[in-house]
Amino acid sequence: MQNKGLIRVFAILFGLVSLYQLSFTFFTNKTESDAEAFAKQQISESTENYSALREEVETRYLDSIGNEEGFLGMTYNESKDKELNKGLDLKGGINVILQVSVKDILRGLSNNSKDPAFNQALANADEAQKDAQDDYIDLFLEAFNDIPDARLASPDIFANKTLSDEINFEMSNAEVATVLKKKIDESIVSAFEVLRKRIDKFGVTQPNIQRLGESGRILVELPGAKDVDRIRTLLQSTAQLEFWDGLVGSNFGQFLVDADAYIKETQSTSTEIENAEQVTDSTETAAGDDLEDLLAEENDSTEVASGNNPLLELIVAPGYQGGPVIAVFNAKDTAKVNSYLKKPQVKALLPAEQKYTKFLWGIEDENGLVQLYAVKGNRDNEPELSGGVVTDAAQVYNQAGQVAVSMQMNGKGAKIWEEMTGRAYQQQSTIAIVLDDVVYSAPSSTSGAISGGRTEISGSFTVAEGQDLANVLRAGKLPASADIIQSEVVGPSLGQEAIDSGLMSFVIALLFVLVWMIFYYGRAGAYADVALVVNILFIFGILAGLGAVLTLPGIAGIVLTIGISVDANVLIFERIREELAKGKSQKDSIKDGFNNALSSILDANITTGLTGLILLVFGTGPIKGFATTLLIGIATSLFTAIFITRLFIDGYGKNGKSLAFSTPITKKWFQNVNVNFLKKRKIAYVISAAIIAVGLGSLFTQGLDQGVDFVGGRTYTVRFDKDVDANEIEQDLIATFESAEAKTLGANNQLKITTKYKVEETSTEVDNEIQEMLYNSLKQNLPQGMTYEDFKQESSDKEAGLMSNYKVSPTIADDIKQASVWAVLGSLLVVFLYILLRFRRWQFSLGAVAAVFHDVLIVLGIFSLTYKFMPFNMEIDQAFIAAILTVIGYSLNDTVVVFDRIREYFNENEQWPMSKIINSALSSTLSRTLNTSLTTLIVLLAIFIFAAPLRGFMFSLIIGVVVGTYSSLFIATPVMFDTVKKRGIDLKYKEKEELENDATV
């Protein structure tokens, strides 16, 4: 090996840099451990709200020492920015995909057009999007063009004052469409920037926000974030700040009385009709029932249904005289009050001068009470002043010492504000400051018109809420609403358990591999172990240096990398043993062994790397983490196996010391193996065909257990303080949600609960509603005294309750499914082309792809056959697709090594018949095949046993390794052999020259 000194220097420098990069992680972990110990000393565990108080003390401690110099002169805050990023599943936090509403953007560009053709096209696009993968704008344009004589450049649609510089009356629909797509893209970019500014101000360490293609989707990852409700509000708030003229609440007293009387009358009429129908039904169906009981039931239902004052009895307190508040209600009754006030007949009861009145709610207070306001509306339902005029905002304290938000307006806004405050002063009324249809405050002007454009929003909110509001206003408003179409929330305690289980599997797998290499290869195996440890150091160092995110599947990728690294060393050592067996000197054997193994190592790792690239392109979240660590691991494994191991081996043998590359026990293992694999190929075909046929039968009859990634829905991980029966709880859930599923996840006191209830609705309100329904359904099995707040609260030491939740809307589920199919097909195509390029014969590519199809079908078939009774989760989701692609990579890795040896034997033994060449090649690689498969299997079993959330993922990989090893011996090569035979190619004397050309690398 040339340039040993340069490689040695590079390896040492690379190792030192990796240690330096990881040192920041060690420093921050130690500091955070000190903070945790300090908090435990300060607060007794018996203290009420112990977890929340402890976390608050930890935060204050870290804030107090954040800028103190520590490790190498670095502060904690600086080290925190450079530590190894931990993903959502290891650290806890929230991960969401937001869909910016293109429909809202179109409405805004059209100035909320009332044109029938425009609104019909929007409605048709909404319906079409349920079953289509096209972008919303394309569906809208298609729907609009289907309407006869409809023109986008109409003055009632897009040829308006707002777009007058870009759209005129003479433009065709196609020309307008180009402008619209440009405007929509600008709006999505604007939304991205607004969200980025909000998140930067939120204070979460190592946030990640990125735009996903051109679909209007934005990915937001906030590892370590705990206040989930606050984050959701921050992300989804459109910041539609509006200023309305307030009306005197006491002027609506008579309206409430009239409305109450009308509602009471209509309810009484409907109740009488319902009771009459109930009497008829009951009489017909209960002929043998006791008449007295039946009449009692009728009387009870009439009493409950009639009600005395359906609206007035909901009022908790009246508004104060002369103020803007009409009345105070319980927050739980707001939906009912809204349903009353929205009735056209109720609205008609308003006096003529108040017919455009808007009813708005205030902020819910600590007692669960909400104030009802009335503001002066108009025909167009547009405020006189909107939040677009705000140039700056900050959280401050008002004269009463309460939290408030100060705002500064531009010149145009300042002028209108002066007019509004002057009018409020003269009329002794108020101005309602409304954000996203919620009245934050309704101040009056006590000193006349306010000039200069500076004003203040005060309300009953905390410092954090005030800061969030100021951040939202300062960052700007979203150009359209942003719905959360996919979200994942992981509690910090679940994240810590994932770290513990991941590290446990990692350490056990590593120890086994280290011991096995020494057992099998002796001193040479010890050198390979050193290279393996260096390889792991390099992987973590690169991850920290690149700012990549380490996830639980990422740890699985690193553990799998151990198998890849071992595979490279096994290939090298086996080739050296073969050269020694030929009688060559140790020096020549080592040189030829490394050189001969290089081609196989490169081919095997490139094919695995190609599938990793496909994962990186098509995957999201944890799957990208798996692909990232796998690709980094492949690169570092090649370097350490080829160069680091070589340095140790050459250094030991330079003084003439003998290196056996085996131990007395393993010295004669797999020597003189001569198996006629081709003779057994027909039996293998029959066995494989039977297994695949059974699997396909199951796939067509009972299918696969598709997860929410592919069908949409909500999934919750819930932990109990005792073991529970999943079937019993599932029946309770079905009674609540109609459609629900409960599966044991890991231990018997933890369930994975999935429901498709209201799957089409993605609002935060619906999320909260379903979460509360879940709590009520599980309440009898939860720890005694656990409230809903305790159930959903995030805490680093949480032992029971809601541990994580995951939501996928049907729209993005279809996209995920489609991307997964393309990922699998794309990887097969790429690998087919690579093998064709390397081996110059399509028969080799066909054999490899046939083996891959064989392996994938068997894995799918086994999952279909066993998912109903396996004691762990076997859902088909994105992680499963990652597993399938990994199986493809592993299967190809094995197959390519065999094909490389066949190509080599073609050159060395041109007098042999083809069958002998193939059998000899397969026999000579058997030691490597079994060795690598065994070590990889042990690695996977370690993860399977200790990392419960990954058991389904690992199970598919375990099947894949077993089947992949089998298919490389009994499917890939026999298929290649049979297709060559059918073409009548002898592959002996007459094609010697052609083969030599084909085998040239």
DSSP secondary structure, 402-450, as one string:
-EEEEEEE-HHHHHHHHHHHHHHHHHT-BEEEEETTEEEE--B-SSSPP
Q: Which residue's structure tokens are 């065994």?
A: 934
DSSP labels, 117-163: HHHHHHHHHHHHHTT--S-HHHHHHHHHHTSTT--TT-TTTTSSSTT
Query: What are φ and ψ of residue 370, in 5° steps?
Result: -135, 140
Tokens coding 41: 């000393």
Q: Which residue's structure tokens are 């425009």?
A: 118
Q: What angle do CA 16, 20, 24 make, to 5 degrees?
A: 160
Q: What's the rounded Cα separation, in Å, for the pair 912 and 926?
A: 20
Q: In this predicted structure, what is the pLDDT of residue 308?
A: 78
C-alpha R_g of the chain: 35
DSSP labels, 697-734: HHHHHT---B-HHHH-EEEEEEE-SS---HHHHHHHHH
Tokens coding 877: 């989701």
**Total residue count of the chain as it appears in this document:** 1001
Q: How many CB atoms lie within 10 A of CB 982?
A: 9
Tokens coding 412: 């145009």
Q: In this predicted structure, what is the pLDDT of residue 499?
A: 66
Tokens coding 111: 């100035």
Please name the helix (run of DSSP H) or strand (run of DSSP E) that holds residue 397, with its range, or none.
strand 390-397
CB 18 within 8 A of CB 538: yes
Q: Which residue's structure tokens are 């250094």?
A: 651
CB 929 within 8 A of CB 894: yes
Side-chain half-sphere exposure of 80, counting CA atoms within 13 A: 19
**Signed CA dihedral, 629, 631, 632, 635: sign only:** positive
Query: What are φ and ψ of residue 46, in 5° steps?
Result: -80, -5
Strand order in the sheet with 454-458: 390-397, 403-409, 454-458
Q: What's the rounded Cα separation, in Å, for the pair 684 and 345?
A: 78
Which among 437, 448, 427, 435 has a CA at the least distance from the CA of 247? Answer: 427
What is the four-CA torsion angle of 727, 731, 732, 737, rounded to 10 degrees?
120
Q: What's the rounded Cα separation, in Å, for the pair 121 and 631?
A: 46
How far from 692 is each of 688, 695, 846, 855, CA to CA, in Å?
A: 6, 5, 18, 9
Strand order in the sheet with 93-100: 208-212, 217-223, 93-100, 482-490, 801-808, 713-719, 750-755, 740-744
Q: In this predicted structure, what is the pLDDT of residue 203?
A: 52
CB 898 within 8 A of CB 968: yes
Q: How many CB atoms lie within 10 A of CB 877?
A: 23
Q: In this predicted structure, what is the pLDDT of residue 323?
A: 80
Residue 550, SS3 per DSSP: strand
Q: What's the rounded Cα separation, in Å, for the pair 411 and 409?
A: 7
Q: Which residue's structure tokens are 């048709």?
A: 124
Q: What's the rounded Cα separation, in Å, for the pair 425 and 402?
A: 24
Q: In this predicted structure, what is the pLDDT of residue 761?
A: 72
* One-letter amino acid for residue 935 of the chain: T
Tokens coding 246: 């307030």
CB 726 within 8 A of CB 872: no
Q: What's the rounded Cα separation, in Å, for the pair 222 and 208?
A: 7
CB 374 within 8 A of CB 357: yes
Q: What angle do CA 287, 290, 291 make, to 5 degrees?
A: 80
Q: In this predicted structure, what is the pLDDT of residue 328?
A: 92
Q: What's the rounded Cα separation, in Å, for the pair 136 and 122?
A: 9
Q: What's the rounded Cα separation, in Å, for the pair 457 and 469?
A: 10
DSSP labels, 306-369: H-S-TTGGGEEEEPPTTSSEEEEEEGGGHHHHHHHHT-HHHHTTS-GGGTT-EEEEE---TTSE
Q: In this predicted structure, what is the pLDDT of residue 329?
A: 92
Q: In this predicted structure, what is the pLDDT of residue 755?
A: 83
Taking phi over 0 as left and psi of -120 to 50 as alpha, with beta for the rest, 946 belongs to alpha
Query: What are φ and ψ of residue 94, in 5° steps?
Result: -135, 140
**Contacts of residue 637, Cβ cutoff 8 Å, sequence gap at least 6:** 535, 561, 564, 565, 568, 605
Q: In this predicted structure, what is the pLDDT of residue 496?
A: 63
* One-letter amino acid for residue 472 of the chain: V
Block mean pLDDT (10 aa), the chain, length 1001: 72 85 83 81 70 71 76 75 73 74 82 86 82 75 86 83 76 86 78 69 61 70 67 67 84 88 74 44 39 34 51 86 86 85 86 84 83 86 78 78 81 85 83 80 74 74 70 61 68 61 73 84 85 87 80 70 76 80 79 80 78 73 71 85 81 72 76 76 89 90 75 80 82 80 73 78 75 85 81 67 73 64 74 76 81 87 84 72 73 77 75 79 79 79 74 82 85 82 44 40 31
Q: What's the rounded Cα separation, in Å, for the pair 945 and 237?
A: 43
CB 267 within 8 A of CB 514: no
* One-letter amino acid for residue 682 of the chain: K
